[in-house]
Amino acid sequence: MGHAVSATTESLAARLKSEAVRLGFDLVGIAPAVTPPGYPQLLSWLERGFAGEMHYLPRRAAAYKHPEHVLRGVRSVVMVALNYKAESQATSTAKVPARVARYAQSGTDYHDFLRDRLKKLGDWLHDQVPQCRTRVVVDTAPLLERDFARLSGLGWFGKNTLLIHKRAGSFLFLGGLLTDVALEPDEPHATSHCGTCTRCLDVCPTQAFPEPYVLDATKCLAYFNIELEGPIPREHRADVGDWLFGCDLCQDVCPWNRKSPASTDPLVQPRAELSPADALSIFTMSENEFHAQFAKTPLDRPGWNGIRRTAAIVLANGQCREAIPVLIAALDDADPVVRGAVVWALQQFDDEAARMALRERLLMEVDPNVISELKATQQ
């Protein structure tokens, strides 16, 4: 049985929100535990194949229908948001500047510190309502967090599919605390404030939005350089530009982010070596060096080989001639996906040493995908 505390529910909800703010969250709202309104759209999105290689999404599709699948007996979903928009104070020394999405520039894993703060919020609720049940959710459980954020009054969905708050913008980490306590819910955010603006749709270099409010993840730069394990599609490598990890383009152009405040939270402040990163330095890191610097950070998600694959493309897009001998040496790399990216990168340079190295590699290459890359022309 859930915990009904009707006589003091509103005051408990208000006190819980105050505690969430004290713990460092910028926004907090409460939604009832219901089937999220966006669930039919999720099923349609999956049917259109827009999840790509993120196979965990269709595998758990049924569980997204109701938060009961995350916490049995759930009655309330407490949603929190934390602003991660911060400005780097460092002067870049990167030879080949490469952009890292804002959420990863601090080099800390937001899952960890959001989960830690939400657990403390759960502990506080347990003190108020002994024997209540709670569960913390930060991305990893089948919960449509964005839907519940809107239901709890935290904002509306932008045409780029992200949650937008009038004052805080869209650079927001979302997390949830599910509980069997019946808390007084907030009014859902019923209005949208995007109007006729299409800046987020227009700026996307890969046209990843087939229509407003729908993202085809299989065309998104962040999908290419984070989620995709194999080669980045050849036709989109130039579109990668200097994005080593993630992409913020559709947020950077959003008018609602123009006046949103910069966060002072120490856990989201950018590290100098990630704002921007140095594509050449990262490409030449050993596996041990990479893990020593980026283990337990967002950059570890694509792994050492995934990051080097993208770094090779960034080096070519930036036409860094200093990278040519480094890329030539990497034609012997053990990973075929990295080798394939290196082949493409060298093909982008008008350089005789690069052309000769590619001809020599073709004589000894055994991986069919890399052979295909070697035989492809750029003319």
pLDDT tens readout for residues 30-79:
999 999 999 999 999 999 999 999 999 999 999 999 999 999 999 999 99
What distances in angstroms separate CA 44 from CA 40, 41, 66, 326, one per listed residue? 6, 5, 17, 45
Same domain, 176 and 209: no
pLDDT at 2: 61
Same domain, 205 and 175: no
Same domain, 226 and 330: yes
Q: Which one of 128, 153, 182 terminates a domain?
A: 182
Name the 3-class secondary structure at 317. Answer: helix
| pLDDT tier, 378 (very low <50, low <70, confident <90, very high otherwise) | very low
Which structure tokens are listed for 158?
């932008």
Same domain, 153 and 296: no
Count how many domains the chain has.
2
* DSSP 8-class letter at 145: H
Same domain, 166 and 208: no
Q: For residue 11, count other CB atoms closer than 10 A to its CB.
A: 11
Same domain, 177 and 208: no
Report the CATH number at residue 159. 3.40.109
Which domain covers residue 118, as residue numbers? 3-87+109-182
Same domain, 357 and 324: yes
> Which residues, at least 6 apart from 56, have a Cβ–Cβ distance to it below 8 Å?
none
> Which residues, at least 6 apart from 198, have a Cβ–Cβ distance to it below 8 Å?
159, 212
pLDDT at 236: 98
Give tens-digit pLDDT for 200-252: 999 999 999 999 999 999 999 999 999 999 999 999 999 999 999 999 999 99
Q: Which one of 182, 217, 243 terminates a domain?
A: 182
Among 347, 338, 274, residue whose Cα is nearest residue 308: 338
Domain assignment present for 362 = yes
What distances in angstroms separate CA 355 from CA 122, 328, 358, 375, one per listed residue? 60, 10, 5, 12
Same domain, 141 and 214: no
The residue-averaged pLDDT of 337-359 equals 97
Whole-angstrom distance between the N-terminal and C-terminal Cα of the chain?
68
pLDDT at 214: 98
Domain assignment present for 50 = yes
Look at residue 11 and tell me whether its pLDDT is greater than 70: yes
Domain assignment present for 262 = yes
Question: 239 catalytic, yes or no?
Answer: no
Beta partners for residue 148, in sequence order: none
Of 139, 242, 300, 351, which residue is the catalytic one? 139
Q: How far apart are CA 368 and CA 43, in angstroms?
A: 36
pLDDT at 8: 56
Amino acid at 175: G
Tell me the average pLDDT of the chain. Answer: 95
Same domain, 149 and 174: yes
Domain assignment present for 211 = yes
Instruction: For the full predicted model, state whether its pTM sits above 0.75.
Output: yes
Same domain, 295 and 173: no
pLDDT at 379: 41
Q: Which one of 149, 182, 215 terminates a domain?
A: 182
Give tens-digit pLDDT for 133-173: 999 999 989 999 999 999 999 999 999 999 999 999 999 99
Contact between 346 and 317 under an 8 Å Cβ cutoff? The reply is: no
Same domain, 138 and 207: no
Same domain, 125 and 51: yes
Q: Extract long-range pairs of 211-220: CB within 8 Å, 24+ residues apart.
A: 212/159, 213/157, 213/158, 213/159, 213/161, 214/45, 214/50, 214/161, 215/50, 215/160, 215/161, 216/48, 216/50, 217/50, 217/51, 217/52, 217/54, 218/49, 218/50, 218/51, 218/52, 220/247
Domain assignment present for 69 = yes
Look at residue 3 and tell me whether its pLDDT is greater than 70: no
| pLDDT tier, 7 (very low <50, low <70, confident <90, very high otherwise) | very low
Domain assignment present for 222 = yes
Amino acid at 304: W
Domain assignment present for 255 = yes
Domain assignment present for 194 = no
pLDDT at 377: 66
Give tens-digit pLDDT for 304-326: 999 999 999 999 999 999 999 99
